[in-house]
Amino acid sequence: MLFDLIRALLAAFIVAVAPGWFWAGLLRASADNAERVVYSVALSLALVPAVALVPAYLLGTGVTLAVALISPPVIYFSGLAAYLRFGPAKDSGESVVPLPASPLGAPALALLVVAFGLAMGVTIGAIPGEPAAPETTGGFVPGPRVLVLIFALVVAAGLLELFLSGRAERRGPTGPRAGAAWLPSPSFPPSWRRLSLLAVLVLALARGYLGPALHEWPLMRGVDHYSHAVMANRMMTVGEIEPYLIYPPGFHTTIGMISRLSALEPLEVFPVLGPTLFLLPAFSLYALARRLWGFEYGLAAAFLTVLLGGTYYYFNDAMYPNLVAAQFLVVVTLAALAGMYASPSPRGGVLLALLGSSVVLYHQVASFYLALLLAVVGMCFVPYLLLRDRRRGIALLFSLAALGSLAVVYAWDTYDLGGTIAGLAGGSESSTTGDAVGMAVGTQAPYEMGLLVGTMVSQPVTWLGLLGAILLVADGWRRGGLPVAHITLLLWALILFAGSRTALTGFPQRFGRDLGVPLALLAALALVTLLRSLAAHRRAAAVFATSAAVLLAVSLVGVQTAQSLRWASGPSIQVTITPEISAAGEWLEQHNEGGNIIVSPHENQVPSRMMLAMGHYSALQSFELWQIERPRDLPPTGPGPLLDVIWVVTHPGDGRTQSILEEHDVRYVVLYKNMPDRPTLDFWRLFKARPDLYRTVFENRDVLIVEPR
């Protein structure tokens, strides 16, 4: 494992870290090297696959070793040349918005003590609740009544604080909150900053590596990494993902280059490199919070990512592109947007356009989030800024226009935008992309609120995030208006929450998993504000209430962190493979001489995609009949080949079966006998009973592979 890890990390550094270093210095300067690393990674992920796709598409050879060797240096040296020509960007070193630094009053703190006490009681099991999903954060989920009560207490505390702070402002310096109106400036010792950030990043890595290293290696948890392996293999060989799925090529092009440079197959890259993706949300939230409010807020936001159940769900299910796009690229794009609000410049506009458009290269749903948010920004803030500050308004308008234009270029081939537009112009509503969208809308139920709060987001992040949102509103009320950056942050959280509550978005559960990201940012604001409030009050009642609230908040965060790490270090229920299944996959790879395979369908499409990935095939996929009749994510080939698979495994001796095998050039039929995580149907017995038609070429306890005679 260690040797594979070193090879994969070196290749990942060459492809996804180093190329953007000088571009980061050119477009967004920072005295903080950690922040520059964040932008270097983001720009590498945005630019390197975009460059690699040009020869892969034009030559039709895919991501070859030559493409992998040339593309990263092109970005690196072009960035170096631009950096030497134009020099580094200027950085003031200050946060882009005023700190919401008013301390909480004793009445509001008293309500928070009760709310945090209830949340702690549920977390440790002292108050009845439901067990949280073990594959995310662990602990317990609050019941409906307790959930409503905690929510009401936090909101009441926020509203009370809003009322009292407003009254104190009207009374002036002689009011009851005089002497405690502002919190002391952040004073985190500079010598400890690097060590504290490093400790948080190590904690994030531990959450990823502990479970796989202790229980699974060389196998790997998750179901989606088989699909990602198939798509990466297709990008490496033919330079396109269709007809396997409609999926953007950015992630799989990047993995293809890492695979070429490390001499590891994609299925060998994911087990050793997948856990490092936990660094991405920690880094991105650090960069955004630091840019908004300062280092302490960035550190707290990075730490709180260890509590996010949605982040762990993506890793545990191997939904890597979701994590890269929604919890890294979108966040860094918003950091670039905040920079444009504060100090618009051509360099900032280029940075925003490059990062925002790159989301389209990685995932559809994250692109949907960002499109919704930027549409609101374009309709509301651009006209406002054009009236109030023409220079800022024009800069933001042109950067958003450039972002949209690049996004259309990236999406054109993946989603066949030309064919879709032509179909609409000709009066036809049918298109491959349109059909795929229609399959998804209304087919996925939203998470129950208890599961969303207690598992996908986690209780500490939920309640502190809610408090942080109210603190922003209260600060805007006191100052006479919210900064545009704060409004954007609140809109981000509201869009994700609204999308998580309706099936009309098509992916409400993914909205729910990503809701924790803006809430972690708001939670960091609330947590640091509480900690700094300890030095702001002088009266005994206020000091006692502040101390109790801080103690409970920190304890709640600490207990949830311990539970998250404990669950992460245990075995995963998402391991879908056994050594016997792996041996069958190796046999398929060794005997792959072209053609296709058919895999018996069992409980969704995962079993067939496992064998396709291990055997280096991309067809035929196997779906159960109910999935075909009520489709959600069928391949663009339509239901025909999927129905052919079902016919073959249920009628192995039929004449039509022989025609299907010849039509699809089927070389082997793979039949599961046992699986570790789901029941199997005994299709294999039908083939075993027909030695006159099928020759057994491989068999063990879990898999039978036959060859048509």
Give domain status of residue 125, yes or no: no
Task: Please give the structure tokens belonging to residue 229.
Answer: 């392996």
Q: Are residues 448 and 345 in the same domain?
A: yes
pLDDT digits (tens, 9 = 90+) for 352-406: 999 999 999 999 999 999 999 999 999 988 888 888 888 888 999 999 999 999 9
Q: What is the pLDDT of residues 232-257, one digit of tens each?
A: 999 999 999 988 988 999 999 999 99
Same-domain pairing of 216 and 346: yes
Q: Are residues 351 and 481 in the same domain?
A: yes
Token pair recorded at residue 526: 């609330």
Please tell me the total number of residues recorded for the chain in this structure: 709
334 DSSP assignment = H
Whether residue 82 is predicted with pLDDT greater than 60 in this model: the reply is yes
Same domain? For 494 and 583 the reply is no
Shortest CA distance to 137 belongs to which of 564, 602, 658, 459?
564
The predicted structure's pLDDT at residue 253: 97
H helices present in 224-329, as ranges: 224-237, 250-262, 266-273, 279-292, 295-304, 309-316, 320-324
pLDDT band at 628 (very low <50, low <70, confident <90, very high): confident
DSSP states along 38-89: HHHHHHHHHHHHHHHHHHHHHHS--S-HHHHHHHHHHHHHHHHHHHHHH-PP
The answer to whether 228 and 255 are in contact (CB under 8 A) is: yes
Per-residue pLDDT averaged across 503-517, rounded? 91
In a domain, 397, yes or no: yes
Residue 642: CATH number of its domain: 3.40.50
**Do 364 and 475 sit in the same domain of this protein?**
yes
Domain count, the chain: 2
- The reply to whether 228 and 337 lie within a common domain is yes
Instruction: Tell whether 274 and 423 lie within a shared domain.
Output: yes
Asked, for residue 118, whether it belongs to a domain, the answer is no
Residue 304 lies in a domain: yes
* 257 and 353 co-located in one domain: yes
Q: Which ranges of 125-263 does DSSP label H, i.e. alpha helix?
A: 144-171, 190-211, 224-237, 250-262
* Overall average pLDDT of the 217-230 stretch: 88
CA distance 32 to 42: 16
Instruction: Provide the phi-psi class of 139: left if phi over 0, else alpha when psi is between -120 and 50, else beta.
Output: left
Q: What pLDDT is stored for residue 175 in this prediction?
A: 43
pLDDT digits (tens, 9 = 90+) for 155-210: 999 888 777 766 655 555 444 444 344 455 555 566 788 899 999 999 999 999 99
Q: What is the pLDDT of residues 15-39, one digit of tens each?
A: 999 999 999 999 987 888 899 999 9
Q: Is residue 670 within 8 Å of 694, Cβ to Cβ?
A: no
Last residue of a domain, one of 437, 470, 500: 500
642: domain range?
A: 579-708
| Helices (H) then strands (E): counts for the chain | 32, 6
The 8-class DSSP code of residue 679 comes to -
Structure tokens at 262: 């490390």
Q: What is the mean pLDDT of the chain?
A: 87
